[in-house]
Structure formats: structure tokens, C-alpha cells
Amino acid sequence: MTCPVCKKPTDPAYRPFCSRRCADVDLGRWLTGGYALPGDPAESTEPDDEPPPSPSWRH
């Protein structure tokens, strides 16, 4: 098995990587959005500018 970052043989202590450095490089890619899965855009979590509709039973 080869390291997915640098393609060197893996080290059992850092499997599937060859070293701590390559493991950290991979983690950095995940944390900065270097890896992304395709999919539908997420719905916005921002509140709308419009106030919520008032309940019709309260007049």
C-alpha cells in the first residue's frame, strides 16, 4: 500500500500514510475544504429579512 499523499510505502504507525507529516497534510486538506463531495447546495441557515408570518388565530 502506498501513501495517498506522496505515494511512498506506508508506515504501520501512520497507516494509511507514510509519516506524521503526510497525515497532517491530509488533515489540513480536509479542514480547509480541499476535499469536497458533490451534492445539492445546502439550504441557507441565515434568517430571512422578512419577519415571520403572524398566526392567523391571533387578531
Q: What is the pLDDT of residues 44-55, one digit of tens each?
A: 677 666 666 677
**Given this model, what pLDDT does residue 52 score?**
66
Q: Is 18 annotated as a binding residue?
A: yes
Q: Is 6 annotated as a binding residue?
A: yes
Q: Is 56 annotated as a binding residue?
A: no
> Which of 18-21's residues contact partners 24+ apart within 8 Å by CB, and which partners?
none
Query: Is pLDDT above 60 for 59?
Result: no
**Given this model, what pLDDT does residue 37 score?**
81
- How many alpha carbons lie under 13 Å from residue 28 in its C-beta half-sphere? 7
Query: Is pLDDT above 70 for 57?
Result: no
Q: Is 22 annotated as a binding residue?
A: yes
**Given this model, what pLDDT does residue 32 score?**
93
CA 53/CA 50 separation, integer angstroms: 9
pLDDT tens digits, 7-35? 999 999 999 999 999 999 999 999 998 88
